Chains A and B, each alone.
Chain A
Amino acid sequence: EVHLVESGGGLVQPGGSLRLSCAASGFTFINSWMTWVRQAPGKGLQWVANIKHDGTEKYYVDSVKGRFTISRDNAKNSLYLQMNNLRAEDTAVYYCARLLFNTGWYWGSWGQGTLVTVSS
């Protein structure tokens, strides 16, 4: 069974930094594209970043480019999101998710999420 467990969320001041982690199990992590998706309080879902299975390709939503960095450690079956220069609008639950491909890409598995609150 696929398990994705996020950690690292918390309260941080505007301009601060935070590093999220996602521990993966139950599937071949090294072969999987991974992603971060977030959800602001009371709002819908928003894709944040993708990373290729070997880490050689990374993609970001425009609003986090230059501030967030997605990375992975395949030896540890772990995904990360380094978030710098955080803003109030980054406040959200951050979900780690596994990307799958059939005739096209879709999210096949989700973690339970970790809450990031940016406030002074």
Chain B
Amino acid sequence: QTVVTQEPSFSVSPGGTVTLTCGLTSGSVSSIHNPSWYQQTPGQAPRTLIYSTNSRSSGVPDRFSGSILGNKAALTITGAQADDESAYYCVLYMGSGMVFGGGTKLTVL
């Protein structure tokens, strides 16, 4: 069974740039998987950031961007802010449906 993989944790300095990735244990991620990204701060509901690889959801600042980098989907945050400290989940469309990655906990310090 193919699993969606994400870095368990990552840290970035305030004002810095960070790229989180979303891969597969078998095979490469492409636009066919329709990557989407969701942000979740502790105790809160998820918030949709990116859909269809690189489209920003309404109200999402342009310092969040999505792309395909090599064989993975990627979420890049430029000019990181303190309130970006959250968990970030990617979702890929697989043959069996939409599958969440395990999430990346981003620390801003």
Residue numbers of A with Cβ under 8 A of B are 37, 44-47, 50, 59, 95, 97, 100, 102-113
Say yes or no: A44-B89 contact (C-beta < 8 A), given A95-B45, A108-B48.
Answer: yes
Cβ 8 A contact of B103, one of A44, A50, A105: A44
**In the complex, what's the smallest C-beta–C-beta distance from B23 to chain A, in angstroms?**
16
Interface size of B in residues (CB-CB distance below 8 Å) = 27
Residues of chain B contacted by A110 (CB below 8 angstroms): 45-48
**In the complex, what's the smallest C-beta–C-beta distance from A7 to chain B, in angstroms?**
14
A103 to B57, CA, bound (A): 14
**Can you list 10 contacts pairing A with B, beta carbon distance less than 8 Å?**
A44-B103, A47-B98, A47-B99, A97-B46, A103-B34, A104-B33, A108-B48, A110-B45, A110-B47, A112-B44
Residues of chain B contacted by A59 (CB below 8 angstroms): 97
Is A102 a contact partner of B55 (Cβ separation < 8 A)? Answer: yes
A37 to B97, CA, bound (A): 13
Is B100 a contact partner of A107 (Cβ separation < 8 A)? Answer: no
